[in-house]
Chain A
Amino acid sequence: EAQVTQNPRYLITVTGKKLTVTCSQNMNHEYMSWYRQDPGLGLRQIYYSMNVEVTDKGDVPEGYKVSRKEKRNFPLILESPSPNQTSLYFCASSWTGGYGYTFGSGTRLTVV
């Protein structure tokens, strides 16, 4: 089944403790992206990647890192999480930016 798999689904962590949210797709998509979704602000793009080893900042990249060493994986790294990074995170992939985007099920992150 074609899908984007995010892990974990839920995560509660403490301020400053490094964490990684994994994202993997099995569709051979070139384009992958991370979004965060907050009430009243909608979905905002954190980082995106056009292909392996090519990543670019989205609208809200501060406090996040990404890497794209393989086509299928696009992990999101929070080196020192803060409470303002509490949010619902989505990973998505597609052939080009937006067209036929497939989304993961989301990761609900709480930073206390």
Chain B
Amino acid sequence: SQELEQSPQSLIVQEGKNLTINCTSSKTLYGLYWYKQKYGEGLIFLMMLQKGGEEKSHEKITAKLDEKKQQSSLHITASQPSHAGIYLCGADYTGNQFYFGTGTSLTVIP
């Protein structure tokens, strides 16, 4: 069963455009994490959200967690080719097992 659903599966945007990736959990999260993966490489930790309503930003990337702690969004402002890759959300429910979403493949066209 898929604990985390990500949408969209893939995204192609023109450089400079804003975009949003969503991550929905089937149950309340203990912690929600965002990672970026360059194709075929390891994952890079971006941000972690734990509190309902929390919002964090790093450079042009902003992540939010809803009040119910079941949905998160990742927003990129003024996208650049360096933002291209696969974005994955991850969820910690129990502190032991960790689940990943299926990922969103982002292509930024110069």
Q: A105 contacts B48, CB within 8 Å?
A: no
**A42 interface neighbour in B88, B91, B96, B98, Cβ under 8 Å:** B88
Given the complex, which residues of A lie within 8 Å of B102, measured CB to CB? 40-42
**B43 interface neighbour in A41, A44, A103, A108, Cβ under 8 Å:** A103
Categorize the interface residue count of chain B: 20 to 34
A48 at interface by CB-CB < 8 Å: yes
Q: Interface digits, B44-73 against A, CB 8 Å rule (1 contact, 0 not)?
A: 110010000000000000000000000000
Interface of B is mostly: strand
Q: A45 contacts B99, CB within 8 Å?
A: yes
Stretch from A12-20, A64-72, A74-82, A92-100 at the B interface? A92-100
Report the nearest A residue to B98, measured CB to CB: A98
The 3 closest A-B pairs by CB, nearest first: A103-B42, A42-B102, A43-B100
Q: Which residues of A approach B to under 8 Å, CB–CB?
A: 4, 33, 35, 40-45, 48, 50, 56, 58, 88, 90, 92, 96-106, 108
A98-B31, A99-B33 given; 4 more Cβ-contact pairs under 8 Å: A41-B102, A48-B98, A88-B40, A97-B97
